[in-house]
Structure 1
Amino acid sequence: MKKAVFPGSFDPITLGHVDVIKRGLNIFDEIIIAIGVNADKKYMFSLEERIKHIGIAFKNEPKIKIKSYAGLTVDFCKSENASYILRGLRNSTDFTYEQSIAQANATLAEIESVFLICAPEVSFISSSIVRDVIRNKGDYRKMVPNGIYI
């Protein structure tokens, strides 16, 4: 079974995340959406809210699991018997950042990283942009999955 971990904070989940995950389902038998927990980071949404939002986005997808974790992503992958980390790339800056992490992960745990380029229509969306739109009372609904009302 090809199992991948798609790690992130998902604060909140965006259509960019959904694009990469849905296309990843064509490659992997199971994708674990892994919500990283960092005690030093201030989140807009609680862990429970983020799990709920992801659950809404993938409510009818049996190949998706949602879990949270703390610590190194590679350690979480090993605990879940996942051999792959799935990541989405929006631009060359993302690639440069993700390349170093992927090389470190491969060194630490022989975990392969698989990169998918985001679809052009969602490549501008990031969680930080969505949070800014929400904070300023803008219409965020075209940037997050249907059914997620914040």
Structure 2
Amino acid sequence: MRRAVCPGSYDPPTNGHLDILERASSLFDEVVVAVLINKNKQGLFSVEERMEMLREVSAHLPNVRIDSWHGLLVHYCQQNDIQAIVKGLRAISDFDYELQMAQMNQQLTGVETLFMPTKPPNSFLSSSLVKEVATYGGNVSHLLPEAVHKRLVQRLGQNG
């Protein structure tokens, strides 16, 4: 079975994340969305809430499974018989960092990393940017799955 993992913080999941998950799910038998647990960083949403949102927005993808992890991603891959890491790239700056990480991961365990370019409408999209714009009242509804947008508005205490 060909398995891949799509790691990230997903705080919150965006349309860009969902696009990468949908495309990866067409290439692999199973795609695991691994939500990063970073005990040193306080997210807007808890890991459990992010996993819940991801389950909801990926429900139409039967070969996608949601999980969480902390520590080295390659150890998670080894423990779960995952052969590849799929990463979405928005810009050259993403590639510089991700290439070094991919080479280290391959050296450590042989796990390969596949880079998937984002579609142009999502090339600027990041969870951090969405949260910042939404915090100051900007409309981000077109950047998020509807269920995620509802939760974001509710969390920030806004009307829409």
Written as runs of structure 1 = structure 2, the 5 A alignment for 1:1-150 is 1-148=1-148, 149=150, 150=152
Bigger Rg, which one: 2
| 1:17-57 CA distance string (max 9 Å, x none) | 11111111121111000001011112111112101111121
| 1:121-141 CA distance string (max 9 Å, x none) | 111110110110222122221
Structure 1 residues not aligned, in runs of 5+ = none
Partners of 2:147 and 2:71 lie apart in 1 by: 31
Identity percentage over the alignment? 37
Q: Looking at secondary structure, tell me which structure has more helix per residue.
A: 2
- The aligned residue for residue 158 of structure 2 is none
Q: CA RMSD in A?
A: 0.9
135-144 or 67-76: which moved more? 135-144
Structure 1 runs of 4+ with >6 Å offset: none
Structure 2 residues not aligned, in runs of 5+ = 153-160
Alignment length (residue pairs): 150
Tell me if structure 1 keeps the 8 A contact 2:25–2:61.
no
Q: TM-score if structure 1 supplies the norm length?
A: 0.96
Higher RCO structure (Cα 8 Å, ≥6 apart): 1
